[in-house]
């Protein structure tokens, strides 16, 4: 099983249009520091499972017939916008699973085209894909949202975006099911760098540190990264360790 991060940025990506902060300036001049919107793909037994569908190059990167299934975290536009192009394709229908959100996004449910939206998943009710056990975990967000834990031969990767903190029942589940790699939303630097303003809808570094202390993942990669966090990280490298790091686009994790 291999998980590849197609993008690790937030909705503004990196560099942010028109921004001249040090992180955006660096990303303008060095392609490896650029961040697309957060999404991923899991490859296993010759099949590919997309985690969200927002890659600008989705239609060319994944030719017809190569996408076995799509798993959505939620229906905010920055996580599903490529579905609006994909749905008009031809060929084998593509199954789409996600949380219970009757509103969805715009007219996707009304005009699904190639997409087959399945009945919504249920929190903590595991299901199987190609022998991998997948458990939906409810996140704290402005729209109903799931993170997912992927288990293969007793080893687990947790993919947790978009969220602000974790619910008590999710924390308890993660403690009871030890995580090898946690890929988690972290859009903001600490509150001390934001004049004490609390984070909204997404984690900051203070929240992530608490989650790490409570859930004890072996390693933690930060995703859904905003340019303010990236700029802060350039000045505060000591926050990051071998066990807590900024993930980057195209990074791969194997079980």
Render the burial of 132-143: b for 16+ CB within 10 Å, e for the rest.
bebbbbbbbbeb
The dihedral of CA 128, 129, 130, 134: what is its sign? negative
Question: Domains of the chain, with CATH numbers?
Answer: 2-254 (3.60.15.10)
> Residue 166: its pLDDT value, please?
98
The pLDDT, as a whole number, for residue 185 is 98
Of 19, 13, 75, 68, nearest in space to 46 by CA: 68
Query: Considering only CA atoms, which of 118, 148, 170, 171 is closest in space to residue 51?
Result: 148
Phi, psi of 160, rounded to the nearest 5 degrees: -125, 90
pLDDT in tens, 179-232: 999 999 999 999 999 988 899 999 999 999 999 999 999 999 999 999 999 999
Residue 246, pLDDT > 90, answer: yes
On whether the CB atoms of residues 107 and 131 are closer than 8 A, the answer is: no
Cα R_g (the chain), whole angstroms = 18
In this structure, the number of other CB atoms found within 10 A of the CB of residue 173 comes to: 18
Could you give the CA distance from residue 147 to residue 134 in angstroms, rounded to a whole number? Answer: 10
- Per-residue pLDDT at 255: 85
Order of strands across the sheet that contains 244-246: 127-129, 132-138, 146-152, 155-160, 181-185, 219-223, 244-246
Asked whether 33 and 55 are in contact (CB, 8 A), the reply is no
Closest CA to 98 of 80, 125, 74: 74
Q: Is 78 helix (H, G, I), strand (E, B) or coil?
A: helix
Give the pLDDT confidence score for residue 141 in this predicted structure. 97
Q: What is the pLDDT of residue 195?
A: 87
Dist CA 115 CA 60 (whole Å): 17
Token readout for 145 is 């949202």
Spatial contact of 76 and 64, defined as CB atoms under 8 Å apart: no
CB neighbour list of residue 172: distance below 8 Å, 6 or more residues apart = none
pTM of the predicted structure, to 2 decimals? 0.97
Assign 26 a pLDDT band (cuts: 50, 70, 90).
Answer: very high
């Amino acid at each position: 099983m291999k998980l590849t991060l197609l993008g690790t940025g937030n909705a503004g990506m990196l560099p942010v249009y028109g921004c001249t902060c040090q992180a955006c300036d660096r990303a303008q001049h060095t392609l490896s520091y650029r961040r697309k919107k957060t999404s991923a793909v899991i490859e296993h037994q010759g099949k590919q499972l997309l985690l969200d569908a927002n890659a600008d190059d989705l239609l060319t990167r994944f030719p017809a017939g190569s996408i076995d299934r799509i798993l959505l975290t939620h229906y905010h536009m920055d996580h599903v916008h490529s579905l609006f192009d994909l749905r008009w394709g031809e060929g084998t229908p593509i199954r789409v699973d996600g949380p219970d959100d009757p509103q969805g996004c715009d007219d996707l449910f009304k005009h699904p085209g190639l997409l087959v939206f399945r009945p919504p998943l249920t929190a903590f009710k595991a299901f199987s894909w190609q022998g991998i056990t997948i458990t939906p975990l409810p996140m704290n967000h402005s729209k109903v949202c799931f993170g997912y834990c992927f288990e293969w031969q007793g080893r687990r990767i947790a993919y947790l975006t978009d969220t602000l903190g974790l619910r008590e029942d999710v924390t308890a589940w993660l403690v009871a099911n030890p995580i090898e790699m946690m890929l988690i939303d972290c859009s903001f630097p600490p509150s001390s760098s934001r004049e004490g303003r609390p984070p909204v809808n997404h984690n900051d570094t203070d929240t992530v540190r608490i989650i790490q202390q409570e859930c004890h993942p072996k390693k933690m990669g930060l995703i859904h990264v905003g340019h303010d966090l990236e700029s802060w990280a350039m000045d505060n490298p000591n926050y990051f360790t071998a066990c807590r790091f900024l993930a980057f686009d195209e990074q791969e994790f194997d079980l």
